[in-house]
Amino acid sequence: MRILLLSLLAGMFLLPVYAQKKFIRLQTSEINVDSIKHYHRILIVSEGGMQAYNYMNNLSVELIKGLKELNIECRYHYLGDPLRVNTDDSLKQARSWEHDAVLRFLPLANNERTRQHDLSYFTTPAGSNRSVYRQRPIVTEYIMENSFELSLEENNKNIWTARLESLSHPDKLTMYEKVRAVILKEMRRFYLIPRE
């Protein structure tokens, strides 16, 4: 019985640590679609600092894979850090690839932070009436916070705008598959891509 209670007690402290690792939200803020769209070639572009660069390199691989399954050819182009290069010139170069639409990711916030969790606990040894404090190491967890504005443009006209927010562990590449699924689901909802 004590083992069950101890495991439940440990679960109560550990569950919030693992339950809050991933968070993905996509909110559409503007939609200007008058008919069902049939894109065959989408240019994906992004800009930002090093964290935005790493995030988008991983996400673009997943987006290209997901859109390829829908027979949509894609190309990804990183425009650079707007504090160091002229991203408008880079965008003009990227637009030289023949495309139907441009899916642009503009970083709003890219932060890396740490959280610490103390896994120490109290226990009562068998046959004893007093509690014993069990010292455990403090676990440090690295978290990436990313926020982007997504815009789908066709002939320099904004078709769809959304805000993507995610909170994740930097080493978990499976998170990018989940972000891809969220983005594609939202695009299907507004008939921007085929519904399979």
Kindly report the pTM of this predicted structure.
Answer: 0.76
Structure tokens at 153: 């443009």
Q: Are 102 and 109 in contact (CB under 8 A)?
A: no
Q: In what order do the strands lie in the sheet with 73-78?
A: 23-31, 157-168, 138-154, 101-118, 41-46, 73-78
Q: Where are the domains of the chain?
A: 21-189
pLDDT at position 133 is: 61
Note the pLDDT tens digit of each residue in 143-183.
Answer: 888 899 999 999 889 999 999 999 887 777 888 999 999 99
